[in-house]
Amino acid sequence: MTLTDGSMASVRKEWARETIGQGFRLDCFKRWNVGFSGRVPQNNLTVQINENFTGKVAPAGYFYFTWAIPKDDIAVNDNLVQNTGW
């Protein structure tokens, strides 16, 4: 094990390495209030390259980081209120 500088940047990088492919990335962006931008793929043969992949940009606080509550859930539970913008 190697020591890091303990900065948030190093924590984020380590978290990404430890949880890759587990579906937590979007949650992390929201929790840390950071955005992301597209990147160059490691292997061009395994992905479809287009501007939605390499040119995608989502700033911190991006609207779609918060998803809509399904209408069926709201219909059966009067305590639920739809997320703003949905």
Confidence (pTM): 0.57
pLDDT tens-digit map of 53-73: 667 888 988 888 888 999 999
The mean pLDDT value for 4-22 works out to 85
Chain centroid offset of residue 58 CA:
9
Q: Is the pLDDT of residue 1 over 60?
A: no
- Please spell the DSSP secondary structure of 2-29, one letter per residue: ------HHHHHHHHHHHHTTSS-HHHHH
Which residues are CB-neighbours of 56 under 8 A, at least 6 positions away? 36, 37, 38
